[in-house]
Amino acid sequence: MTKEKATFAAGCFWGVEAAFRSIDGVLETAVGYCDGTTQDPTYEDVCRKNTGHAEAVEVEFDSGVVTYDKLLEAFWQMHNPTTLNRQGPDVGSQYRSSVFWHDPVQRDLAETCKQRLNATDKYKGAIVTEICPAQTFYRAEEYHQRYHEKNGGGACAL
Protein backbone atom coordinates (compact mmCIF):
# COMPACT_ATOMS: atom_id res chain seq x y z
CA MET A 1 0.00 0.00 0.00
CA THR A 2 1.24 3.47 -0.92
CA LYS A 3 -0.32 6.19 1.22
CA GLU A 4 -0.54 9.68 -0.22
CA LYS A 5 -2.25 12.89 0.82
CA ALA A 6 -4.44 15.27 -1.17
CA THR A 7 -6.22 18.43 -0.04
CA PHE A 8 -9.21 20.05 -1.70
CA ALA A 9 -11.63 22.91 -1.04
CA ALA A 10 -14.98 22.82 -2.82
CA GLY A 11 -17.44 24.70 -0.65
CA CYS A 12 -18.87 23.53 2.66
CA PHE A 13 -16.56 20.77 3.85
CA TRP A 14 -19.29 18.46 5.21
CA GLY A 15 -20.55 17.27 1.82
CA VAL A 16 -17.11 17.33 0.22
CA GLU A 17 -15.80 15.01 2.93
CA ALA A 18 -18.74 12.63 2.51
CA ALA A 19 -18.17 12.49 -1.26
CA PHE A 20 -14.47 11.68 -0.89
CA ARG A 21 -15.15 9.08 1.81
CA SER A 22 -17.32 7.15 -0.66
CA ILE A 23 -14.41 6.57 -3.07
CA ASP A 24 -12.66 3.19 -2.96
CA GLY A 25 -9.04 3.69 -1.96
CA VAL A 26 -9.70 6.66 0.30
CA LEU A 27 -8.33 5.58 3.66
CA GLU A 28 -9.11 8.57 5.85
CA THR A 29 -10.44 12.11 5.63
CA ALA A 30 -10.39 15.15 7.86
CA VAL A 31 -12.15 18.47 7.48
CA GLY A 32 -10.40 21.67 8.42
CA TYR A 33 -9.04 25.00 7.38
CA CYS A 34 -6.27 25.68 4.90
CA ASP A 35 -4.49 28.59 3.23
CA GLY A 36 -5.13 31.35 5.75
CA THR A 37 -3.17 33.66 7.99
CA THR A 38 -4.51 32.84 11.46
CA GLN A 39 -2.90 30.05 13.46
CA ASP A 40 -5.28 27.45 14.92
CA PRO A 41 -8.48 29.07 13.62
CA THR A 42 -11.87 27.97 14.89
CA TYR A 43 -14.98 27.52 12.78
CA GLU A 44 -16.30 30.79 14.15
CA ASP A 45 -13.04 32.56 13.21
CA VAL A 46 -13.23 31.27 9.64
CA CYS A 47 -16.93 32.16 9.32
CA ARG A 48 -16.11 35.78 10.25
CA LYS A 49 -14.25 35.84 6.91
CA ASN A 50 -11.09 37.52 8.20
CA THR A 51 -8.68 34.57 8.50
CA GLY A 52 -8.21 33.89 4.79
CA HIS A 53 -8.80 30.15 5.28
CA ALA A 54 -10.81 27.89 3.02
CA GLU A 55 -12.93 25.07 4.36
CA ALA A 56 -10.96 22.09 3.10
CA VAL A 57 -10.80 18.31 3.18
CA GLU A 58 -7.55 16.45 3.65
CA VAL A 59 -7.70 13.02 2.01
CA GLU A 60 -5.37 10.13 2.75
CA PHE A 61 -5.53 7.60 -0.05
CA ASP A 62 -3.93 4.39 -1.29
CA SER A 63 -2.56 5.31 -4.71
CA GLY A 64 -2.47 1.63 -5.62
CA VAL A 65 -6.29 1.62 -5.44
CA VAL A 66 -7.24 5.16 -6.50
CA THR A 67 -5.07 7.59 -8.41
CA TYR A 68 -4.74 11.29 -7.77
CA ASP A 69 -6.25 11.79 -11.24
CA LYS A 70 -9.41 9.97 -10.10
CA LEU A 71 -9.61 12.16 -6.99
CA LEU A 72 -9.26 15.24 -9.19
CA GLU A 73 -12.04 13.94 -11.44
CA ALA A 74 -14.31 13.51 -8.42
CA PHE A 75 -13.37 16.98 -7.14
CA TRP A 76 -14.40 18.68 -10.40
CA GLN A 77 -17.71 16.80 -10.40
CA MET A 78 -18.72 17.49 -6.79
CA HIS A 79 -18.96 21.28 -7.08
CA ASN A 80 -19.18 24.19 -9.51
CA PRO A 81 -15.59 25.34 -10.10
CA THR A 82 -16.71 28.42 -12.04
CA THR A 83 -18.23 30.30 -9.11
CA LEU A 84 -15.88 32.57 -7.21
CA ASN A 85 -16.11 32.30 -3.43
CA ARG A 86 -19.42 30.48 -3.38
CA GLN A 87 -21.01 27.08 -3.65
CA GLY A 88 -24.78 26.99 -3.73
CA PRO A 89 -26.16 29.08 -0.86
CA ASP A 90 -22.75 29.33 0.87
CA VAL A 91 -21.00 32.60 0.07
CA GLY A 92 -17.58 33.81 1.19
CA SER A 93 -13.92 33.20 0.44
CA GLN A 94 -13.94 30.27 2.87
CA TYR A 95 -16.08 28.43 0.28
CA ARG A 96 -13.68 28.96 -2.63
CA SER A 97 -12.63 26.20 -4.97
CA SER A 98 -8.99 25.18 -4.47
CA VAL A 99 -6.62 22.31 -5.07
CA PHE A 100 -3.79 22.36 -2.54
CA TRP A 101 -0.95 20.33 -4.02
CA HIS A 102 1.55 18.40 -1.90
CA ASP A 103 4.19 17.83 -4.58
CA PRO A 104 5.03 19.00 -8.11
CA VAL A 105 3.34 15.96 -9.67
CA GLN A 106 0.02 16.89 -8.04
CA ARG A 107 0.47 20.50 -9.12
CA ASP A 108 1.11 19.51 -12.73
CA LEU A 109 -1.81 17.06 -12.84
CA ALA A 110 -4.19 19.66 -11.38
CA GLU A 111 -3.04 22.38 -13.78
CA THR A 112 -3.31 20.07 -16.79
CA CYS A 113 -6.76 18.87 -15.76
CA LYS A 114 -7.99 22.44 -15.21
CA GLN A 115 -6.67 23.53 -18.62
CA ARG A 116 -8.24 20.52 -20.31
CA LEU A 117 -11.64 21.21 -18.67
CA ASN A 118 -11.47 24.91 -19.57
CA ALA A 119 -10.95 23.92 -23.20
CA THR A 120 -14.24 21.99 -23.24
CA ASP A 121 -17.80 23.25 -23.08
CA LYS A 122 -18.51 21.34 -19.85
CA TYR A 123 -18.90 24.58 -17.88
CA LYS A 124 -20.59 27.81 -18.94
CA GLY A 125 -17.81 29.95 -17.50
CA ALA A 126 -14.10 29.76 -16.87
CA ILE A 127 -12.87 27.63 -13.99
CA VAL A 128 -11.79 29.86 -11.10
CA THR A 129 -10.31 27.07 -8.97
CA GLU A 130 -7.03 28.06 -7.33
CA ILE A 131 -4.17 25.60 -7.57
CA CYS A 132 -1.67 26.38 -4.84
CA PRO A 133 0.81 24.68 -2.54
CA ALA A 134 -0.62 23.01 0.55
CA GLN A 135 -0.05 25.09 3.65
CA THR A 136 -0.66 24.14 7.25
CA PHE A 137 -3.92 22.21 7.55
CA TYR A 138 -5.77 22.97 10.76
CA ARG A 139 -8.16 20.17 11.68
CA ALA A 140 -11.67 21.46 12.38
CA GLU A 141 -13.48 20.84 15.63
CA GLU A 142 -14.52 17.23 16.23
CA TYR A 143 -18.24 17.89 15.69
CA HIS A 144 -17.42 18.75 12.05
CA GLN A 145 -15.59 15.47 11.36
CA ARG A 146 -17.77 13.00 9.42
CA TYR A 147 -20.64 15.40 9.95
CA HIS A 148 -22.97 13.76 7.43
CA GLU A 149 -22.37 10.32 8.94
CA LYS A 150 -23.23 11.65 12.40
CA ASN A 151 -26.12 13.95 11.43
CA GLY A 152 -27.31 13.07 7.96
CA GLY A 153 -26.99 15.34 4.94
CA GLY A 154 -28.18 18.90 4.90
CA ALA A 155 -27.31 22.50 4.40
CA CYS A 156 -24.15 24.04 5.74
CA ALA A 157 -24.80 26.90 8.11
CA LEU A 158 -23.49 28.49 11.26
Q: Which of 67, 130, 126, 66 lies closest to 101 in space, CA to CA?
A: 130
**DSSP for 94-129?**
GG-EEEEESSHHHHHHHHHHHHHHHTSSSSSS----
Catalytic residue (choose from 12, 34, 113, 156): 12
Q: Which of 78, 38, 37 lies closest to 57 in space, CA to CA?
A: 78
Residue 101 and residue 133 in contact, taking contact as beta carbons nearer than 8 Å:
yes
Tell me whether residue 12 is one of the annotated catalytic residues. yes
For residue 139, the Cα-to-chain-centroid distance in whole angstroms is: 13
Residue 136 and residue 40 in contact, taking contact as beta carbons nearer than 8 Å:
no
As annotated, the active-site residues are 12
